[in-house]
Amino acid sequence: MCGIVGYVGSQEAAPLLLDGLKRLEYRGYDSAGIATLCNGHFTIHRSAGKLSTLLERLAGSSSPGSVGIAHTRWATHGRPTEANAHPHTDCKGQVVAVHNGIFENFAERKAELESLGHRFTSETDTEVFAHQVEQGFRGDLFDAVRSATKKVTGAYAVLVSSSAEPGVLVAARSGPPIALGLGKNENWVASDPVALVPWTRDVVFLEDGDVARVDAKSVKISDAEGRPRDRATHRILWDAVAAEKGGYRHFMAKEIHEQPTAVAETLGGKVSLETGELFLDLPLLAPERVTGFDRVLLLACGTSWHAALIGKFLIEGMARMSVEVDYGSEFRYRSPVVDGRTLTVGVSQSGETADTMAALTEARGAGSPLVAIVNVAGSQMARTADAVIETHAGPEIGVASTKAFTTQLAVLFLLAAKLRESRALGRGLTAQERAGLVHLPSAIQRALSLERKIENLARDFHSATNFLFLGRGLHYPVALEGALKLKEISYIHAEGYPAGEMKHGPIALVDENLPVVVLAPNDAWREKTLSNLREVKSRDGISLVVTTREDEEIASLADHSLVIPETIPELQPIVSVVPLQLLAYHMAVRRGCDVDQPRNLAKSVTVE
Ligand code: AGP
């Protein structure tokens, strides 16, 4: 939602903070700001717009000091103006605060603080926190922040600095993530270790309710009452280069092309590609536990929800368990029937999506054990779950999820195989499945080699205003994902539909101006899907067929076709989605859109 970064040490803080903000800009990019502390005075620079605007503004000015905090924003309270950009200050300009999340009782707090004489200059909820700290300050910033956290409600990560205690930063977490980066005579604070890896690999993740006092030499963590909390130090294994563009024009392009490696790395250690033996040795997935479950509940949002829909096909088909899939945002507000006989699986790239997290908490509260499939190690979801299966996609910076999706599908496939094994329906992978996995990275690679052709198609299609994506079975969620990719980065209205449902309504949209992307792999539904293609053709629709076998029939029906490698049906979506990602990418580039930071979106949605 927003990105927070802080530094305390002996180096000039500003360049380090700005570098951190660049790496966190994926979290929000409608305004940015920085505060550094020198000789008892804060220098604060803020600006509306992207970080580049702040950087331009800073070019001719200085931000002295070896202590500071900075922020990149995705607006929730108040428009993305300079006045609403963080950091926010108290009345005297002695306390500065940056914040990710929402203080739900901010109106009530603000009214009380105003009645005590505090004056506000922004529309934000964050400013309330700076004044609350000022109100409670008795000479110790750590104590003041601890007591301020008792006055606010909501989901938040906050970072505070005070000129009254110059070498100290205080961070607090209740929901959105905060990581502390440990250095030698210097320490960092950030929303995501992505901002820390150029400087340190040793990271401590705060947990909900933690308040941390950070100076150059030490870190102290307690709860709001001051009771000490012990948090482990994690070593981040990927390096800073993994979070750079590596010669690509956009992170999204790099991440699309990383998929063969990302999928291979995700499989590594979880399965033997020689024998098909599964290594998902989690107690929760052992036969004695699995036989006690009568169904699986998959919860997720956005692209991860599409992966979960495919997971339903995999688990039902391979493990013969009944599966329900729901959006986190829907599940949390109905009265779902869940108990200890339901195995809940949360699917999330970030591991911090508020709606998914709340839904998982709800299911777990009803007695359902929880498996988290996450990409970000140490994320809130990973730390809450009874068992974690990590996708090893590496950092995904582009807002549009690509390699996170395909690695989630790889993990869901292995989970389905593991559940099958624990239900004594088969041991490890079948020879065909194992071969499918062995050849998967090269199949993705070959799908990527269609890029030039797709770039040309994007030239033909880029002025279309609507798109329809059709698929059946496992490819219905792929159609949804193709449509989501297109709309989120190229702002073209696109709908994904189960092909069989087309005649129940969307067929009315088909005319000579509507491009229809038809997913027609060589699977059990192929003939049915081809009849939908005929329906499109007979109404003058423009068809683009993604297929694994281009025969005469497809050649005569399709206006355009993309032939991708064929694999086993359970793995086919991992290959089929690649041309759709490339299509969305090249359409967005053609249309001059901001591919990595599309309007109104943020990478991690840590608020409702
Ligand atoms: C995908 O391209 C999105 N930007 C979005 O739908 C995303 O998948 C969703 O917000 C869920 O995020 P998560 O996987 O981090 O939980």
Is the pLDDT at 76 greater than 80? The verdict is no
CA distance 144 to 42: 19
Specify the pLDDT at position 607.
Answer: 65
**pLDDT > 90 fraction of the chain, expressed in percent and rounded:** 75
Is the pLDDT at 263 greater than 70? The verdict is yes
Is the pLDDT at 188 greater than 70? The verdict is yes
Specify the pLDDT at position 195.
Answer: 92
DSSP, res 228: B
Q: What would the pLDDT profile of 114-132 be if each residue is shown by its tens digit?
A: 999 999 999 888 999 999 9
**Residue 399 Cα: closest atom of ligand 1:** 4
Question: For ligand 1, atom 5, which residue shows the shortest CA distance?
Answer: 302
Pocket of ligand 1 contains residue 304 by CB under 6 Å: yes
Cis link prior to 573 (omega < 30° from 0)? no
For 86-95, 189-198, 598-607, which range has the lowest pLDDT when averaged over its residues? Answer: 598-607
Specify the pLDDT at position 235.
Answer: 87
Pocket of ligand 1 contains residue 135 by CB under 6 Å: no
CA distance 203 to 493: 41
- pLDDT band (50, 70, 90) for residue 440: very high
Specify the pLDDT at position 428.
Answer: 96
Pocket of ligand 1 contains residue 523 by CB under 6 Å: no
Q: 235 near 229, Cβ under 8 Å?
A: no
Mean pLDDT of 412-435: 97
Q: What would the pLDDT profile of 519-547 be if each residue is shown by its tens digit?
A: 999 988 888 888 899 988 888 889 999 99
Question: For ligand 1, atom 6, which residue shows the shortest CA distance?
Answer: 302
Q: What would the pLDDT profile of 455-465 be if each residue is shown by its tens digit?
A: 999 999 988 99
Is the pLDDT at 111 greater than 70? The verdict is yes
Mean pLDDT of 260-280: 93
- pLDDT band (50, 70, 90) for residue 372: very high
Pocket of ligand 1 contains residue 161 by CB under 6 Å: no
- pLDDT band (50, 70, 90) for residue 79: confident
Q: Could you give the count of Cα atoms lying within 13 Å of 515 in the half-sphere of its Cβ?
A: 24
**pLDDT > 70 fraction of the chain, expressed in percent and rounded:** 99
Q: Helices 126-136 & 141-149, crossing angle to 10 degrees?
A: 120
Comparing CA positions, the residue from 219, 209, 231, 150 lying closest to residue 182 is: 219
CA distance 275 to 205: 37
Q: Quote the pTM value.
A: 0.80
Active site residues: 2, 603
Is the pLDDT at 241 greater than 70? The verdict is no
Mean pLDDT, all residues of the chain: 93
Tokens of residue 597, six digits: 């930071």
